[in-house]
Structure 1
Amino acid sequence: MKKVNLLVLVALLSISTVFATETEPTSDEKGKTVTQQVATLLSEPGFEVKKDLTAQVTLMVNKANEVVVIDVDTKEEYVAAFIKSRLNYEKLETQTVGTQFTVPVRIVPGV
């Protein structure tokens, strides 16, 4: 009986190893990360930036691949309003549905 159990275990391990090592070829072009996509959406604010503005943005991606802003931690209310208006319900190219992200945001004065 021990030999049969051992034989079944070895067969299962070898089958699972075959499936685990088999991968699909990946393309050379990688998609943008969530942080990069958020940076693109927040580029060129509609107000004059006189000093560095920072915020911690907590967001989530829903089933429709749309951003849902959960919280914006910043001292400036207009920065929070800007971030929410630019990000809420914007579509992202991501497969991380339901994952919560915390993204640091820094808006710097233009040169």
Structure 2
Amino acid sequence: MRNLKSIIAILLFSLTISFSANAAEKDPSKVTSELRSEIMKFLGDKIPLDLKSTSSAEVSFMINNQNELVVIDVDSNLKDFNSFVKSKLNYKKIITKGIQKGEIYKMPVKINKGA
């Protein structure tokens, strides 16, 4: 009887692990594109910078356990843009599902002259 209980417990445990490993998650590229569009809504269309030419930047961020966006670094030669991004994005709630919490994401941003 004791062996039967052990065998059943092991069987249930292995089934649970196999089902959780095969759980269908969203396509990672779809999740990141949804996340990107959500972040671009936070940044908005009008960036209050006086630019002489088009510039680019790379924003590194992560999502914490409360689904808040935390800006880690803004790789740009525009100091004003760095502070603008941090003020607009830090600790904003994200509604996109399927995001890995604690994982560092990098998003390129293009800043146009007329923006």
Query: TM-score, length-normalised on structure 1?
Result: 0.66
Conserved in 1, the CA contact under 8 Å of 2:49 and 2:80?
no
Q: Give the gaps of 5 or more residues in structure 2.
A: 1-6
Query: Cα–Cα, structure 1 residues 23 and 77, in superposed 2: closer, same or farther, change >3 Å?
Result: closer
RMSD: 3.3
Counterpart of 1:35 in structure 2 is 36
Asked which structure has the greater CA Rg, the reply is: 1
Q: Give the gaps of 5 or more residues in structure 1.
A: 1-7
Counterpart of 1:83 in structure 2 is 85
Query: TM-score, length-normalised on structure 2?
Result: 0.64
Conserved in 1, the CA contact under 8 Å of 2:49 and 2:81?
no
Counterpart of 2:112 in structure 1 is 108
Residue identity (%): 32
Q: Give the drift of 1:66.
A: 0.8
Distance 2:85 2:67 in 1: 18
Please list every run of at least 4 consecutive aligned residues from structure 1 whose deviation after the TM superposition is greater than 6 angstroms.
none
Structure having the larger proportion of residues in helix: 2
Distance 1:35 1:73 in 2: 17
Q: Secondary structure at the match of 2:108?
A: strand
Distance 2:48 2:81 in 1: 11
